[in-house]
Amino acid sequence: MTLVASAMYQNQFTGRTAVVTGAGRGIGLAIAQSFAESGASVLLIDRDEVVEEAAETLRAAGFDVRGLRADVTDEEAMKSAFRWVDELWGRLDVLVNNAGIITISNLDDLSLAEFQRVLNVNTTAMFLCCREAAPLLRKSPSGVILNAASGQARQGFIYTPHYAASKFGVVGLSQSLAKELAADNIRVNSYCPGIVKTDMWQYNDREWGKRLGDYAPGELIQEWIDDIPLKRAAEASDVANLLLFLASDAASYITGQAINIDGGMFMS
């Protein structure tokens, strides 16, 4: 198993507990693995059964992790998930709301059901998890919530009005909760990835490529990468390492922020 976490965070989260949603693969799995490597007990949540295999692999490597196949939009399932965290470990220190979906569609073809589904997964489910996690996070001496936004929380892009709306909503949700939960010493930040080497970006390349020109697979995404100041896409581990910092005591005075991690695509 390839190490994800930076060595500087070794044992930094020993004795702490984290929950990561959308953790079956990609960025979410890298985040969950990085916290486990840094000493945390971790619950991985994903709607896909692959989460159980991912958790078993990490457990076989000696990490204290569990996997839960559940839909983050299901209110009762999320209530049950955080009750389980309390039963397992009796505490929660870090919640990473990483679960998210994207679809790409012309406005005329975009149904209300599809619009609402993207907002339900990307924004409403995040609210549910924050609400259910808050009582546990209040027990922590330094609770942290980290919410997945996007470059599209900085600037909406063509053919994804529903996705852009959901990610702008994440930033607003995070700022509001940062103000409310500060009294409980709970910090809330969001993170805004750009292009990351994941299956989602293969989908993005294909679907935007169909609508923006006669692009062969990989051509559009390479064109965009060429415009990034650092001239590369992110690895999932790049995002994971940012979240380790934001959850650490070194970031104890950072809350209510939306942090870009995009190689310089957006500079504000």
CB atoms near residue 26 (< 10 Å):
18
Nearest to 29 by CA among 48, 15, 10, 13: 48
Element (H, E) at 65: strand 65-69
- Neighbour-count burial of 35, counting CB atoms closer than 10 A to its CB (0-12 exposed, 13-18 middle, 19+ buried): buried
CB atoms within 10 A of CB 176: 12
Look at strands 94-97 and 17-21 and give their pairing.
parallel
163 is catalytic: yes
Between CA 70 and CA 93 the distance in angstroms is 21
Active-site pick, 9, 159, 163, 191: 163
Cα(136)–Cα(60) distance, integer angstroms: 27
3-state secondary structure of 62: coil
Beta-carbon contacts of residue 185 (< 8 Å; ≥ 6 apart): 140, 141, 142, 143
CA dist 190 and 123 (Å) reads: 12
| Of the candidates 194, 183, 173, 193, the residue with the CA atom closest to the CA atom of residue 256 | 173
Are 234 and 192 contacting, i.e. CB atoms less than 8 angstroms apart? no
Residues recognised as catalytic = 163
